[in-house]
Amino acid sequence: MADNNRAVVFENARDMRVESLAFPKLEMPNGKSAPHGVILRIVATNICGSDLHIYRGSFPVPQGMVMGHEMTGEVIEVGTDVERVKVGDLVSVPFNVACGRCRNCKARHTEICENENVNPAVACGAYGFNLGDWTGGQAEYLFVPYADFQLLRFPDRDQAMEKIRDLALLSDILPTAFHGLMEAGAKPGSTVYIAGAGPVGRCGAAAARLLGASCIIVGDYYQDRLDLMKNNGCETIDLSQDVPLTDQIEAILGEPMVDCAVDYVGLEAHGIGREAEDMNPAYALNQVIDATRPGGATGVIGVYGPDPLAKSKAEQEGTFPIDFGKAWIKSPRISAGQAPIMHYNRELMMAILWDRMPYLSDMLNTKIISLDETPDAYATFDTGVSDKFIIDPHSLVPA
């Protein structure tokens, strides 16, 4: 067994580095023994759009933190209390760290686990995100607690490796995208507006197709991202055009609003047209609320929180101006927060394994990279390219 663990660490804003760290132990961040945990050899670990908030400095984390929260791996060591997960199993790791024992976990709200061993500061734990001091998974190896509860085991290893580019999305962005649509009430025949054609927004478009949505409209500033969506059956809106969003929706649908709208952007949003040059943390949020029809619903999946890069003191502290007065008359339903990955990941795994989402890889434009290529990939991803970067630390992903 290896005696060290190479990993991507946060040095400073826009400065990621690959360093050699100690091999993980079956031990919680607070030092408690974790016989309920396992050690994984990482097979695939992705760069997420949420990681870019950290990379840019919008989401503060401690120097030296190991990055990453989208992991798929092979079990190489199990704790004495682990009964259902075996050495050799290929598994997906939900990015939410959850105990399976508290009130919220028992209600399948694993995104807000209340166990103080997961996070003593707030009811939310996550790998590589300064939420409970959990080591991230952009590494060769990873410790995962509460393994019998947490891990999603793929039923057939060979089949899983053939579809690993798609299955690697189950740890976060595909269930997260699906959750946004569920919160927005998407169903067969729904008209849907998706704010943002980054990887999670593109997963949202793929999930909307799986759900049988009728017109799927995606808005973004990057033409290559919009081209990916257009080539996969979506309508697109170029947000750099100086035309109100609702007017552009009306040009497509014949009416200025949709049944369901989802904000997949978060606090690093920009405006439309001439306003697009300036960052406006609440822009995408207000945009999707405005684009949702009366009686419809809005999902807010993009990350919001205190933003040290914001212009105003209120926004730096996490208080954003929401156009609630204008929206109130529409009887709005607005749901926000992290996704409970375990609420959806098994069903989405089965959809992938049975080829119900054959367009997923085309929409995501996945690109396999090595661990050493990761710092440069962060810089490239930050330019708005249409790639979804999947890190392969052990050269295990088939060409």
Where are the chain's structural domains? 4-172+364-391, 174-336
Greatest Cα-to-Cα distance within the chain, rounded to the nearest angstrom: 62
Two structure tokens written together for 78 = 């199990």
What is the enclosing helix (H) or strand (E) of 352? helix 345-353
Instruction: Give pLDDT, residue 310.
Output: 86
Chain segment 174-219, per-residue pLDDT in tens: 999 999 999 999 999 999 999 999 999 999 999 999 999 999 999 9
Question: What is the Cα 363 distance to its own chain's centre?
Answer: 15
Instruction: Give pLDDT, residue 1.
Output: 63
d(CA 264, CA 119): 25
Coil, strand or helix at 73: strand
CATH class of 174-336: alpha beta
What is the enclosing helix (H) or strand (E) of 273? none
- Lookup result for tokens 């295990």: 396
pLDDT, averaged in runs of 10, over the chain (399 residues): 90 97 97 98 97 93 97 98 98 98 96 97 95 97 98 97 97 98 97 96 97 97 94 95 95 97 90 77 91 95 89 90 91 94 98 95 94 98 95 93
What is the enclosing helix (H) or strand (E) of 251? helix 245-253
| Helix 199-211 with 173-183: angle, nearest 10 deg | 60
d(CA 237, CA 241): 9
Instruction: Give pLDDT, residue 307.
Output: 87
Instruction: Give pLDDT, residue 113.
Output: 98
- Lookup result for tokens 């132990």: 25
**Residue 349 pairs with which residues in a beta bridge?**
none
Q: Answer yes or no: are the C-beta atoms of 56 and 14 closer than 8 Å.
A: yes
d(CA 124, CA 102): 12
Strands across the sheet containing 292-300: 235-238, 216-220, 192-195, 258-263, 292-300, 333-336
Q: Does domain 4-172+364-391 have CATH number 3.90.180.10?
A: yes
Global pTM reads: 0.96
